[in-house]
Structure 1
Amino acid sequence: MILGLVTAVAASACYGTGSVLQALGTRRSARQEAAAGAVTEHGGPSLSSTAKAAVTWEFILGTVLDFVGFGLGALAARLLPLFLSQTIISANLVITAVLSVRLLGLRLRQLEWLSIGVLCSALVLLAVAAGPEGGHHADRSFHWWLLIGSVVLIAGGALIVRRLGTGGAIVAGLLSGLGFGALGIGVRILDGIEPFSLGALLADPALYAILVGGIGGMYLHTIALQIGSVNGATAALVVGETVVPGAVGVLWLGDSSRAGLGWLAAAGFVLAVASAVGVAYFGDEGGALQAAEEERKSPAGSAN
């Protein structure tokens, strides 16, 4: 349990720092591409814009941290109940919020800080209430449904987000979180790990669900960072990667709370999701207001 908690916290730190570094790179790229007219008919970033954002040094460094966080998060998913490991990892929202103030110059409002404080309290409740993790086995059909669902989610989500344009930041963040949630579920049920068997590993559809969810989730998160508030996009991601894996762990994989503390685990889970939604809502609204204010103060905005 202790090792699982430590690895989940470390993964959260990597993901939170990585998100802010990626936001630095994507925003710089988005400004350059918007000035060059490289946007879709709906006002969102073009494919070339997203690709160019991915090769900035800030984004690359952030991606390296994401890969480190992925390894640590995968270990945590094997050691802890999914509702606990995914929620702790999702606390990267706190790190993202603090670093965004320092590195991106964002100003967080009182309601955002309040939501973040509630999230931290919810994590404490979950840690106290969590019992031992359930099993790692699921029916083969479940592995296939996870893969099919991941493909439909990422492919359909990418089309929807591009249709929404500049208004799709929260949707992109939510869908990226669902992709990362599929990744967490896949890691939990992956065959060929204990004992190790390369043949069983490569034959498991869950392995490919992990790849689709991870790569697709990163792509959608990049779009969310390009067109919306880093805190709002990350908070939406938190909801997606917490709710579904937590429910799957409890309903199908045998995750449970300590005896008599089910109510505390449920309360912590609901508070964590509600506070993340609060940060997503207030953060997106605040980010839009701040962006408008900066545009008015810019020379181009003054000329208009």
Structure 2
Amino acid sequence: MIIGLVTAIAASACYGTGSVLQAVGSRKSARREAAKASGGTVTQHGGPSLSSTAKAAVTWEFMVGTVLDFIGFGLGALAARLLPLFLSQTVISANLVVTAVLSVKLLNIRLTRPEWASIGVVCSALVLLATAAGPEGSGHTPIDTHWWLLVASVVIIGGGTLLVRWLGGRAAILAGLLSGLGFGALGVGVRVLNGVDPFHLPSLLGDPALYAILVAGIGGMYLHTVALQIGSVNGATAALVVGETVVPGILGVLWLGDSSRPGFAWMAILGFVVAVAGAVAVAWFGEPESASPDGDQDPGSECAVPVGHGSTPTTGSGTEPTSETLPEGSSRNAAV
């Protein structure tokens, strides 16, 4: 249990740091594209094009963030094998707390008192969960259910990508939620994967859960990148928290046999609900203020970030173009 908790906390730290670095890289890339006013940077619905998303992914900040994501994935996969999913996924999803704190330094976002209080609520809820958690289930399931997991992953990522591209600039929260569902499917797939313990390569390669992990992981990273490009980092990550935590936690109890300690079921349920609510509150109260009506920014703020889940254009600083100076028709949805 202790090793699993330490592993999950380390994964959370990697994911949280990676999210902020990816947000920095996405924002820089979006501003460069806006300055160039080059065609093909947005879809007809106002969302980022595949080419603009690819350009965001080659900034050094984004690449370092992606490396941290892969490290976090490995640590999270180990945690999913050592802990009940309702505990491992919730601890990992607490990366929103890391994201919010690091945003103070890297994105010049100031945390409010309600946001600090929400962070405290999340930490307290994680203590409740760790206290109440019992042994994880076996994870042994019929192969048919692995096929269903693969189908669900393809539908979530494939259908979700089409829907997000159709909605364009209005899809920030949806993209975050779908990426969370993808990462949740990844966690479930890791838990049920055959051929791991003991290691048996033919069983591993023949398990549909392996391909569900690949589809859900890669697709989840893409949708999270899109969410960062068109919405705030806290808002996108909060939606991801809900998708990544709630569904896997429920599946772990109903399908995989995860359980709490005898007599502590109420504490596990309370901790789970409070942790998710607190994580969402971090994003809700942490939505940065927009620029003032006269176009001036808050003192000490590097940029004004989208309010209302990406509905308000961002403004730049220094020599970078502001929302007032962007060429007509260019992208105004720089990520936070």
TM-score normalised by structure 2 residue count: 0.86
Give SS of 1:136's match.
coil
Given that 2:43 and 2:49 are in contact with CA atoms closer than 8 Å, whether structure 1 keeps it comes out as yes
2:42 pairs with one of 39, 42, 50: 39
How has the CA–CA distance of structure 1 residues 250 and 152 changed in structure 2, closer, same or farther, with 3 Å as cutoff?
Answer: same
1:141 aligns with 2:137: no
Match of 1:288 in 2: 306
Contact 1:33–1:39 (Cα < 8 Å) also in 2: no
Tell me which of 193, 197, 202 is aligned to 2:196. 193
The percent of aligned pairs where both chains have the same amino acid is 72
Query: 2:315 aligns to what SS in structure 1?
Result: helix
Match of 1:274 among 273, 277, 282: 277
How many angstroms apart in 2 are the aligned matches of 1:93 and 1:249?
A: 22
| Residue of structure 1 equivalent to 2:292 | none
Of 174, 181, 185, 1:171 maps to 174
Q: Which deviates further from its counterpart, 287-296 or 104-113?
A: 287-296
Match status 1:259 vs 2:233: no
The residue identity in structure 2 corresponding to 1:29 is S
Residue identity in the other structure for 1:215: I
Deviation at 1:273, TM superposition (A): 1.5
Q: Displacement, 1:116?
A: 2.1
User: Cα deviation per residue 1:35-58 (whole Å; 9 max; x = unaligned)?
Assistant: 425111111111100011111111
Residue pairs, 1:1-304, within 5 angstroms: 1-35=1-35, 36-37=37-38, 38-284=41-287, 286=289, 287-289=305-307, 295=315, 300=322
1:221-268 per-position Cα deviation (integer Å, ceiling 9, x unaligned): 000111111111111111111001100110011100011010000001
- Per-residue deviation, 1:164: 1.8
Deviations 1:206-227 (A, max 9, x none): 0000000100000000001111
Distance 1:160 1:74 in 2: 29
Contact kept, 8 Å, 2:172 with 2:226, in 1: the verdict is: yes
Per-residue deviation, 1:162: 1.4
Q: Return the letter of the residue paired with 1:242.
A: T
Task: Give 5+ residue unaligned stretches, structure 2.
Answer: 290-304, 327-336
Go from structure 1 to structure 2 and tell me whether the alpha carbon gap of 1:266 and 1:280 turns closer, same or farther (over 3 Å shift): same
* Aligned-residue RMSD, C-alpha: 2.0
Contact 1:232 1:282 in 2 (8 A): no
Distance of 1:284 and 1:47 partners within structure 2: 27
Name whichever of 276-285 and 19-28 sits farther off. 276-285
Are the equivalent residues in 2 in contact too, given 1:249–1:255 (CA < 8 A)? yes
Q: Is the 8 A contact 1:5 1:76 kept in 2?
A: yes
> In 1, Cα distance between the equivalents of 2:132 and 2:109?
35
Deviating above 6 A after TM superposition, structure 1's stretches of 4 or more consecutive aligned residues are 296-299
- Tell whether the 8 Å contact from 1:169 to 1:224 is kept in structure 2 after alignment: yes
Per mean C-alpha deviation after superposition, the further-off stretch among 206-215 and 225-234 is: 225-234
Answer yes or no: is the 8 Å Cα contact 1:233–1:284 preserved in 2. Answer: no
**Larger relative helix fraction:** 1
TM-fit CA distance, 1:300: 4.6
Q: Deviations over 1:129-162 (max 9, x none)?
A: 0011111201111100000000000011111111
Task: Tell me by how many angstroms 1:110 deviates.
Answer: 3.0
**Aligned mates of 1:211, 1:64 — CA distance in 2:** 16
Flag the 1:198–1:177 CA change in 2: closer, same or farther, 3 A. same
CA shift for structure 1 position 280? 3.6
Distance 1:297 1:141, change over 3 A: same
What is the CA-CA distance between 1:279 and the residue it aligns to?
A: 2.9
Contact 1:296 1:302 in 2 (8 A): no
Distance change in 2, residues 1:52/1:266 (3 Å) = same
1:294 is displaced (CA, Å) by 6.1
CA distance in 1 between counterparts of 2:284 and 2:43 reads 25
What is the CA–CA distance in structure 2 between the aligned matches of 1:184 and 1:213, rounded to whole Å? 9
CA contact (8 A) 1:170 1:280 kept: no
Per-residue deviation, 1:285 = 6.7
Q: Which amino acid aligns with 2:21?
A: L
* Structure 1 residues without counterparts, runs of 5 or longer: none
Structure 1 counterpart SS, 2:306: helix
Distance 2:283 2:174 in 1: 11
